[in-house]
Amino acid sequence: MVMSISPEPQALDDVSRFQQAGKQTAHTPEVMKLATGFQGTPLDRTNQILAHMKSLRVTRFDDNLFRKRSASQILEQGFVTGCTDADLVFVTLARACGIPAKYVETIDRSWLEKGGDIIQGHQYAEICDTENKRWIWVNPMGNKVDIQSPENDNRVVYRIGLDSWDIGINDFHSLSENFNRFRETWLEQNHFIAS
């Protein structure tokens, strides 16, 4: 079930849904072993996960890998190709160590307004800080916790789910189809004329 969200952190609803693993964010034995090393409050564990993620090399975009690897494959191979991979690893490790985490797909407002061949967006996560009873925005690729909503970065939330495959995006072709359909509806709802 794919859900839409408002740009501000949510009340503590659907927490149990976001404790589950998706197909792309499975809790493999290797993931669970790594997750046992993250201790403390939800924010402590979040910062420990982000610190661990710095050990992953960042490489350039590769269409052959784009949205096709699971989080455990990304960890095993030791590199991310961008924000999608970083978000997948982050939400997987967060859930594996007991932090409910949402995979959040956003689209740049400028692309929605103007279109173009180069689709622009970014992945975020929301974690549930059960101690403070609130959802907190995280930018895994930017290594930032408790940030303002993506709207402040001129982004529009497209969908949330357990992972990219859960929201129906498993390669660049499916991303392009989904984003272009969303753009048409978004333009109509916001009274823009398509470029």
Residue 114 CB neighbour total at 10 angstroms: 13
Q: What is the pLDDT of residue 130?
A: 86
Class of residue 137 by CB neighbours under 10 A (exposed 0-12, middle 13-18, buried 19+): buried
Domains and CATH numbers, the chain: 17-186 (3.10.620.30)
Report the candidate in 67, 102, 98 with the shortest Cα–Cα distance to residue 83: 67
Q: What is the pLDDT of residue 113?
A: 94
Cα 46 to Cα 49: distance, rounded to the nearest angstrom:
5
Q: What is the pLDDT of residue 194?
A: 57
- The tens-digit pLDDT sequence of the chain (195 residues) is 333 333 444 556 678 899 999 999 999 999 999 999 999 999 999 999 999 999 999 999 888 999 999 999 999 999 999 999 999 999 999 999 999 999 999 999 999 999 988 999 999 999 999 888 899 999 999 999 988 999 999 999 999 999 999 999 999 999 999 999 999 999 999 876 655
Q: What is the pLDDT of residue 3?
A: 38
Q: What is the pLDDT of residue 14?
A: 76
Cα 118 to Cα 38: distance, rounded to the nearest angstrom:
38
Q: What is the pLDDT of residue 131?
A: 86
Would you say 79 and 58 are in contact if contact means Cβ atoms under 8 Å apart? yes
Cα 24 to Cα 167: distance, rounded to the nearest angstrom:
11
Q: What is the pLDDT of residue 193?
A: 63
* Whole-prediction pTM: 0.90
Q: What is the pLDDT of residue 137?
A: 97
What are the phi and psi torsion angles at 87 (to 5°)?
Answer: -65, -40
Q: What is the pLDDT of residue 6?
A: 39
